[in-house]
Amino acid sequence: MNLAHTTVLLWMLGTLQAFELVEKENIFQRTPCPAFLMFDNAAYLADMSFELPCHCKPEEVPAVVWYYQKHVGSSHTKVLTDFDGRVLTEATQVRVGSDMLVRFSIRMFSLLVFQAQPEDSGLYFCGSRKGDYFYAYDVDIQSSERMVATFRDQGQEPFEDEYHGKLHIFTTFWEWTPCDRCGVRGEQWRIGLCYLQSPGLSPRFRNTLPEVVSCGSRAVPSKLQAKVKDHPPELLVRSCMVPCEKTEKFQKGIVAILNYVSKEGSRPWVPQVPIQFHKQVLGHGLIISCPGARPEHAVAWDKDQQYLYRTQYLKGVNRSMRVFIDHGNHLHIRFAQLTDRGIYYCWRQGVKIAGFRLGMTSRRRHRISLSDPETRSALTLTLIGYLVITAIFVTIHLCRCGCYLFPSCSGFLPRISLPWL
């Protein structure tokens, strides 16, 4: 036993000596700030959210401040954060059309931009509260209003590159998104943004390739900007088919078992995803958003058992469409009709996550329908309130009657004097 204990102790000592305390590497110690301020070129599509990290700063600076300029050397500079670097904004609190300063947040020296708009394009500086700049970005937010969709299944091809002398205009595509549905035929797409290559661009603006910047970069001279306006962003769409994960099959099996075991009439239907009820006025428009989805996500929409594919419902495919999907993955219904009633399901990154049960009503008729969950909830709360008030009223009167019958507790009764009696 002593030999075994000694062996175990020696092994434990050797194991403890193998562990070393390693301090977390400080990126600001190994990344010196450039002596000459450069601009990193970055391009995004409108309504996207992105992060701009401050890659360098002096160690003695405890917090950074982010600045914004529309053009190089502009006399008007906007401060995006407070001078202590503690501005925090939640992405769920940002809505479309929010003020520019509301859509920015700073966390761990990085600037977060929520739902960027084309007017947010410009120069972003990471600096100190004294006005010293450490790192800078040239951000180009390209509008999706003129985006052109290309469908591979129909034999369509993207735009060809344009050459105007030494000017080369082309589209740079992002990676393919995951398939937006599983178990059935789905779609996937890739976003393409406009870029150009031209000699003589300012060396202060840098990208992955030399002499290449996005079409909306501040490095593009004014004489070249007119030539790149006719090259909009592109969306490349193709069909796909992927199986569902085992976890989803397991969940569907559990739901099927619950439906089978439950008695008839007590539980006729169990939804696979959370369903929200909404009642829409006939003739009015409606926009439905997929929870937690962003423009770069793979999002799909279904109505009951009908699949709403982008080849038919994408914005711009047909000018007279009443129901369509925009480039931000929102489902639009213009001039709601009775035929729009049903359950709309939302897929995100290949997983069905939510449903929207849409009902129709007329503004001229204000009839209460018990099929509306909100109406049922209001009636239930009202009934519970009346029952509680009635119970309190009856209890008080029973106590008073008991005290009148038993004079020993009459001293506990409140004495109320009425001046008019």
Give the pLDDT of residue 260. 55
- Of the candidates 56, 69, 32, the residue with the CA atom closest to the CA atom of residue 127: 56
φ, ψ dihedrals at 17, nearest 5°: -70, -20
Write the CA distances from 334 to 39, 282, 320, 323, 337, integer angstroms.
43, 10, 10, 6, 9
For residues 294 and 338, membership in a common domain is answered with: yes
Mind listing the pLDDT tens digit for each residue in 317-358? 887 889 999 988 999 999 999 999 999 999 999 999 999 999
For residues 162 and 128, membership in a common domain is answered with: no
Q: For residues 333 and 281, is the Cβ–Cβ distance under 8 A?
A: no
Give the pLDDT of residue 19. 37
Range of the domain at 50: 27-142
Mean pLDDT of 185-206: 93
- 254 domain residue, yes or no: no
Mean pLDDT of 63-85: 79
Give the pLDDT of residue 331. 95
Residues 6+ apart with CB under 8 A from 382: none
- 367 domain residue, yes or no: no
- Of the candidates 39, 37, 38, 41, the residue with the CA atom closest to the CA atom of residue 139: 41
Mind listing the pLDDT tens digit for each residue in 18-68? 434 334 444 445 566 777 889 999 999 998 989 999 988 888 888 888 999
Distance CA 167, CA 185 (A): 41
- Reply yes or no on whether the pLDDT at 11 is more than 70: no
Mean pLDDT of 397-419: 65
**Which segment of 208-217, 246-255, 311-320, 345-354 scores lowest on mean pLDDT?**
246-255
Give the pLDDT of residue 356. 94
- Reply yes or no on whether the pLDDT at 145 is more than 50: yes
Q: How many CB atoms lie within 10 A of CB 337?
A: 14
**Number of structural domains in the chain:** 4
- 248 domain residue, yes or no: no
- Reply yes or no on whether the pLDDT at 366 is more than 90: no
Q: How many degrees, rounded to 5, is the angle at CA 217 between CA 173 and CA 83?
A: 110
Give the pLDDT of residue 20. 42
Give the pLDDT of residue 75. 75
Mind listing the pLDDT tens digit for each residue in 265-308? 444 555 678 899 999 999 899 999 999 888 889 999 999 999 99
Mind listing the pLDDT tens digit for each residue in 91-110? 544 444 445 567 788 887 88
CATH number where 121 lies: 2.60.40.10
For residues 123 and 198, membership in a common domain is answered with: no
- 50 domain residue, yes or no: yes
For residues 79 and 177, membership in a common domain is answered with: no
Helix, strand, or coil (residue 299): strand
Distance CA 143, CA 233 (A): 8
For residues 172 and 134, membership in a common domain is answered with: no
Of 142, 164, 189, which one is at a domain's C-terminal end? Answer: 142
Distance CA 139, CA 122 (A): 5
For residues 123 and 164, membership in a common domain is answered with: no
